[in-house]
């Protein structure tokens, strides 16, 4: 379909005619195409050197930065909603959050597919202009580092943290440091999960557990732990220690970001996602995992592309090239704690039957 037609079909500019109330606005001006189409200034042309693929290289990376800007636009709106002291899990706001997180995941898929285009450039094509780029490097993309910080990548969990802002301009470092000092999406999700109300209504769980009461553990979790233990193979019995560590903070290590209460809520959502009230919360968690997966795929594709293009040579910005990218790809999982909760799932047929009042609140039963 022609680009102009695509624009008109979904734009506020109508059919492009002169009779509409916005007839003075032109497609070319609205998109500021003079700025965009004149923003490519190949270094090779300045040196009167033939390097056909430098134009592709520039446009691909400009497109990346534009998509990063859109990702920040989505992330900013999500953070604003999630910062509210109370977020109704059955509200339009949660639907907006889920929708926009999903959009971010889709955009990240597009970023991965752009590598397919970039890989039409051969190593020799790249060498035509590579040395002219020094010391410029993708490592200087402050927008990507800012996005990682907003999503929840903590400074102490970064690979090469002493190096990661070393090539940035001070104004960009200040923006990233400010984001790191504010609540990230991960922290806001933790607070949202901790607000799950169902386990606080203890009177609705009376006589629920078949397991004898030995401590103050909630009856659901006493029962669930028993069923989980019975589902483990002999070689998996050590998982019970991890269960107590993750969900009850027994001998808990400091590396955890999600609280035990948030972990319990997240696992409950995964287990009972078939209930209407838990559908959106499940989609939110699942979309966060999708973002992590797409970021990981993007990093590994980038790493493999770099290895294909320059082998073991150092990057134009002075990094170790492929080795640096591999270490970052292996370490920079933001939502791995949520992903690891799948270790504690059991089969649907083994799930404890919830009390009728809890089922009613989850929207599964119309009346008692």
- The answer to whether position 147 is within a domain reads yes
Q: CA nearest 151: which of 186, 181, 188, 180?
A: 186
- The answer to whether position 30 is within a domain reads no
State the residue for tokens 């504010």.
Answer: 182
- Distance, C-alpha 314 to centroid of its chain: 29
Instruction: Calculate the CA dihedral of residues 307, 309, 313, 317 and round it to 10 degrees.
Output: -100
* pLDDT for residue 99: 97
- The answer to whether position 21 is within a domain reads no
Q: Mind listing the pLDDT tens digit for each residue in 116-163?
A: 999 999 999 999 999 898 888 887 889 999 999 999 998 887 877 777
Number of domains in the chain: 1
Residue 269 CB contacts under 8 Å (≥ 6 apart), including other chains: 196, 278, 281, 282, 285
* pLDDT for residue 366: 47
Give the C-alpha separation, 314 to 191, whole Å: 42
User: pTM value?
Assistant: 0.86
- Residues annotated in a binding site for heme: 302
C-alpha neighbours within 13 Å on the C-beta side of residue 324: 17
Omega prior to 99 cis, within 30 of 0 = no
Average pLDDT score over the chain: 86
Distances from the Cα of 90 to the Cα of 69, 82, 199, 362, 363, angstroms: 30, 14, 18, 10, 10
Distances from the Cα of 263 to the Cα of 125, 129, 165, angstroms: 50, 50, 32
- The answer to whether position 171 is within a domain reads yes
Q: Rg of the Cα trace of the chain? A: 25
258: domain CATH number? 1.20.58.480
- Residues annotated in a binding site for substrate: 57-61, 130, 316
- The answer to whether position 37 is within a domain reads no
Q: What is the DSSP letter of 132?
A: G
Q: Are 264 and 243 in contact (CB under 8 A)?
A: no
pLDDT averaged per 10 residues in sequence order, the chain, 368 residues: 55 49 83 96 94 96 97 97 80 92 97 94 92 84 94 83 81 94 95 89 76 80 92 85 85 74 96 94 97 92 85 58 67 89 95 91 63
- The answer to whether position 357 is within a domain reads yes
* pLDDT for residue 30: 95
* pLDDT for residue 237: 82
First to last CA, the chain: 55
Residue 10 CB contacts under 8 Å (≥ 6 apart), including other chains: none
Residue 150 CB contacts under 8 Å (≥ 6 apart), including other chains: 72, 75, 76, 79, 179, 184, 185
* pLDDT for residue 266: 97
Q: Are 320 and 159 in contact (CB under 8 A)?
A: no
Q: Are 53 and 121 in contact (CB under 8 A)?
A: yes
Give the C-alpha separation, 151 to 333, whole Å: 11
| Residue range(s) defining the domain that contains residue 324 | 52-368
Q: Return the number of other C-beta atoms located less than 10 Å from residue 200's C-beta.
A: 9
* pLDDT for residue 201: 75
* pLDDT for residue 316: 52
- The answer to whether position 75 is within a domain reads yes
List, in sequence order, the alpha helices (H) in the chain: 3-10, 27-30, 33-37, 43-46, 54-82, 92-118, 123-127, 142-151, 170-181, 185-194, 219-231, 239-248, 260-271, 276-310, 322-331, 336-339, 356-361
- The answer to whether position 11 is within a domain reads no
């Amino acid at each position: 379909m022609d680009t102009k037609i695509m624009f008109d079909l979904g734009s506020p500019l109508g059919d492009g005619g002169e009779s509409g109330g916005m007839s003075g606005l032109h497609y070319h001006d609205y998109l500021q195409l003079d700025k965009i189409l004149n923003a490519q200034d190949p270094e090779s042309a300045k040196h009167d050197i033939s390097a056909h693929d430098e134009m592709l290289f520039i446009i691909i990376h400009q497109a990346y930065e534009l998509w990063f800007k859109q990702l920040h636009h989505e992330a900013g709106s999500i953070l604003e909603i999630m910062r509210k002291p109370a977020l109704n899990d059955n509200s339009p706001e949660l639907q907006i959050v889920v929708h926009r997180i999903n959009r971010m995941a889709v955009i990240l898929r597009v970023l991965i597919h752009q590598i397919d285009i970039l890989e039409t450039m051969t190593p020799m094509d790249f060498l035509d202009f590579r040395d002219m780029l020094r010391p410029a490097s993708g490592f200087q993309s402050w927008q990507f580092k800012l996005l990682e910080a907003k999503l929840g990548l903590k400074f102490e969990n970064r690979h090469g943290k002493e190096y990661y802002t070393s090539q940035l301009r001070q104004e960009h470092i200040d923006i990233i440091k400010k984001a790191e000092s504010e609540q990230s999406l991960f922290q806001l999700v933790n607070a949202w999960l901790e607000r799950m109300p169902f386990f606080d209504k203890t009177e609705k769980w009376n006589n629920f557990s078949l397991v004898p009461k030995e401590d103050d553990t909630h009856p659901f979790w006493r029962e669930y732990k028993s069923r989980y233990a019975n589902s483990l193979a002999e070689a998996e019995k050590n998982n019970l220690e991890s269960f107590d560590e993750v969900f009850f903070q027994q001998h808990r290590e400091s590396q955890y970001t999600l609280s035990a209460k948030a972990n319990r809520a997240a696992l409950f959502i995964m287990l009972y996602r078939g209930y209407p009230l838990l559908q959106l919360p499940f989609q939110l968690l699942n979309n966060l995992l999708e973002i992590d997966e797409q970021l990981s795929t993007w990093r590994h594709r980038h790493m493999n592309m770099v290895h294909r293009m320059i082998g073991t040579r150092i990057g134009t910005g002075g990094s170790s090239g492929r080795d640096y990218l591999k270490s970052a790809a292996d370490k920079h999982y933001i939502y791995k704690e949520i992903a690891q909760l799948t270790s504690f799932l059991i089969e649907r047929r083994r799930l404890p039957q919830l009390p009728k009042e809890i089922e009613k609140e989850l929207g599964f039963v119309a009346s008692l």
